[in-house]
Amino acid sequence: MSTEAPSDSIIDARDRHIANGQIAGNDYNDENTEYFIRTSYQDDDDYSQHLNHQSYRENDDEVQQRLFPTNEVNYDEKVNHNKRDVLVSILEEGDESLQKRIEFDDLYNSSFTPKHPTLVWVQNEKIGVDPRDGIFTYRDPETDNIILESIQDRKSQVYVNANDLIVDHGLLNVQSFEISADAKYLMFWTNKTSQYRHSYFSNVFIYDLANRSITPLTADTVLDEEPKIAYAVWSPTGHQVAYVKENNLYVTDLQSHKQVTFDGSATVFNGVPDWVYEEEVFGTNFAVWWSPDSTHLAYLRLDETAVPEFHMALYTTSNQSYPEELKIRYPKAGAPNPLVSLYIYSLPDDASLLVTTDEKMAIQSIKSKEYKDFELNDRIITEVTWATEAHSHLLFKQTNRVQDHQLTIVVTLADGLHKATATVAREYKPEDGGWVDVPATPTMVFLSSDKGDIRYLDVADNKDGFAHLVIFSTGNDKPVWLTSGEWEVVAGTVVVDKSRQLVHFISTELSPLERHLYTISLESEDPALSKTCRTCPDDPDVHAYYAVTFTPKAGFYVLNYLGPDIPTTVVKSVDDGSFEVLLENNTELKTLLKDYSLPRVRMTNVRSGNIDMNAMEILPPSFDASLKYPVLFHVYGGPSSQLVSYQYDLSWHTFVASQLGYIVVTVDGRGTGFRGRKYRVGVRRRLGELETIDQVNAGRYWASLDYVDESRIAIWGWSYGGYMTTKVLEANDGVFGAGLAVAPVTDWRFYDSIYTERYMLTPELNPQGYVDSAVNNMTGFENAKYLLVHGTGDDNVHFQHSAVLVDKLTQANVHNYRVQFFSDNNHAIRYHNANKNVYYLLTEFLFESFGGKDYAHVRAETHGHFSGPLKKVS
């Protein structure tokens, strides 16, 4: 499950390539970009949350706008609640009564969205333009020419003339592109057709720089027909291409094509993930990896033949009398998983090697193993990385089905496929009863060794349960920890600069609510002592949240300041501390917001039993502690997720605080991330129990405050947050008088196996846990107003969850609720203008339930009438 809702729109192909350190192409065809509300979700499966550039990029695949409204930020220590309260003041000096307040339509106005420019770096050794690091490429918006530019002196030149991109008498509608490693060719993606959260199909074209010609990657490409290419990637050297078409893997040198696999079908995937691996394991659209010397390919084969089908009716996608039906192989908790196998293909030998055990496959397999694979039906492969400068060694991780036992395997190919061997590099079984975290972004990085062993850098949990940098070696049983302490290295942010022998990473060392960039020297006698922070402020009362991406040679990096003030983006040099190029300071947004009276954000702690939880208040403008305010809790709460942070946020919550006069509260209770395993893993086998207790205790605390109207406290959330909202109402504690749930899980038996079983085990192993975690007791819904929203086309959290819950409410004769479905909408609910309607509905329900400061727009246009007496409080 992802805390970020997916989009109905086409994915930005740059994300998958930049995230994996490859040369990335530009996506400049954004005229149809829809601006929408960011609900502050972060992935609970891939970090979820390690913050990488995908968390702040504006694109059409993820809910993006993560903003905290501020003009100028001042930090004052407060003692209202507790010793750690920090008030983020966002108001300019002056008469607040003369200033504007955020309107509902402002949330969908791009003028209120900060810009986050992304540079697409190229490996430029052979381009012949500039041998230095720091060359980037982009599409000129006026001429459509592809430009190369140096970040150092800002000199640029035309790399590809738009006049060369004529196909079928028209300019090719390029959506993204990449340059080959030898800089002789470019690959263009067109006609992208979204499939699931990360996957899409497209037409792919190859441009030859020497003769300025463009041809399709495959001969059967027809622009007006459905695209067939699911994935295509350049080799690390030269200009070979590995690609997947109709679930079979191919490789080409652009002269001839070689088919690697032949069994691809609707249920057998080669080189690309199926639905559940895409959603819950890799978070990408590919499962194929070139060796560094471009002579071998590692790839996964996924067989989902035994996975049950889930059928969804689609009502608006055609003009036919009968609805269309979408069928997805979706493994629910306890159901058969896709069977996964790892292969290595040798281009020189034109032969494949089966690495993992699969007795049914009649193909060459590794004979020499010093370990036993997990059984085919009890295996999840979570990461694959080449551990070599050529093709001699491959590392991969596999876990058992319930993900509490992990093996890291090293495959040795030095003497060819027929003499390949495989041994265990590391075995990990958590002793705390928790799960093995599965970051979507690879964490293993190969390090060279002069001792003949295999060394690799990883992010792993230390003995105290905090994620830290560590070097593992096949020649030494004792790992070398590079970092330590009660803080965490953010998985997916580690960059190794082998030429400078530096390791760069983002961590939470200053605070779980902050992100800062650090560097360690591998040349130091004690690398752990060489750690330096590149972004930490001198003043401990100043807080910040950063994200970073590096150039291919790691000589420069794009530093994104994400809050709490309005975001800025600069390019900095690793070697020259004085070098800085400003890419964006969002001056227009700062000027615009000077005319607005904006909420204040206050960071604090709240206790649940003997547990301190991080919390955040968004206070209305002109907040007066002598008055009584209604409160809206915003919850997510999924394992390893995080909502409370110093990231800038201007969202629906800003509007609710500004116009309706609500205090918006967010609390990260037990199970959430970046505070160590002890805080995280207690929710295992009993999702929804501790998290509900923590939200209820937080609600009780806010209800006790003098400035809170205890009769008007509501809670809302999306996805796992919708589940938490629903469980809180089920608890029937009397604190929350209303709940607003969007696309909630209501029974973990209905959710996908890989996510669910990581935390709940299987229904067979934990039957009572599944009963207790489902929403079964309807009594609490008689005592609170409830809004239930779901898309009928949700391929992630199926509409079944809400349908079954409504049936339970019906049987219990509960009437004090409203249900709103959105036809054919997926988990994001953005299809056919639905997203704006969702937030309008949330606003309307909140206003009708508890009132709030008179907001004429809502009062004039409110049209829903909810069951039961609704007290209006102005």
Place of tokens 């591998």: 522
CB 62 within 8 A of CB 54: yes
C-alpha distances out from residue 698 to 224, 575, 718, Å: 56, 47, 19
Helix boundaries (H) for 786-833: 800-811
**What token pair was written down for 229?**
């290419």
DSSP 366-427: --EESS-PPPGGG-EEEEEEE-SSSSSEEEEEEE-TTS--EEEEEEE-TT-GGG-EEEEEEE
Omega before residue 540 within 30° of 0, cis:
no
The one catalytic residue among 719, 773, 802, 849: 719
End-to-end CA distance of the chain: 39
The one catalytic residue among 668, 747, 794, 795: 794
Nearest Cα to Cα of residue 189 among 172, 202, 207:
202
CA–CA dist 141, 800 (Å, integer): 45
Environment class of residue 448 by beta-carbon count within 10 Å: exposed (0-12), middle (13-18) or buried (19+)?
exposed
Nearest Cα to Cα of residue 185 among 347, 423, 333, 23:
23
760: left (phi over 0), alpha (psi -120 to 50) or beta: alpha
**What token pair was written down for 283?**
């978070």
The one catalytic residue among 17, 40, 827, 849: 827
**What token pair was written down for 595?**
């005319």
**What token pair was written down for 542?**
């100043």
CB 3 within 8 A of CB 724: no
Q: Please enumerate in sequence order all residues whose Cβ is within 8 A of that of 579, keeping only pairs 6 or more positions apart, or say none.
A: 572, 573
Q: Please enumerate in sequence order all residues whose Cβ is within 8 A of that of 279, keeping only pairs 6 or more positions apart, or say none.
A: 1, 2, 45, 196, 197, 752, 755, 796
Burial code (b: 16+ CB inside 10 Å, e: under 16) for 794-820 equals: bbbbbbbbbebbbebbeeeebebbbeb
CB 296 within 8 A of CB 289: no
CB 31 within 8 A of CB 9: no
Residue 234 forms beta bridges with which residues? 241
Environment class of residue 364 by beta-carbon count within 10 Å: exposed (0-12), middle (13-18) or buried (19+)?
middle
CA–CA dist 446, 183 (Å, integer): 25
Whether residue 827 lies in the annotated active site: yes
Whether residue 794 lies in the annotated active site: yes
CA–CA dist 68, 760 (Å, integer): 34
Compute the Cα dihedral for 311, 312, 317, 323 and give only its sign: positive
CA–CA dist 119, 788 (Å, integer): 41
**What token pair was written down for 719?**
């996805």
CB 792 within 8 A of CB 824: yes
DSSP 210-227: TTTEEEESSTT--TTS--
CB 599 within 8 A of CB 621: yes
CA–CA dist 550, 504 (Å, integer): 9
> Helix, strand, or coil here: 655?
helix
C-alpha distances out from residue 13 to 16, 247, 601, Å: 6, 19, 35
CB 458 within 8 A of CB 504: no
Positions annotated as catalytic residues are 719, 794, 827
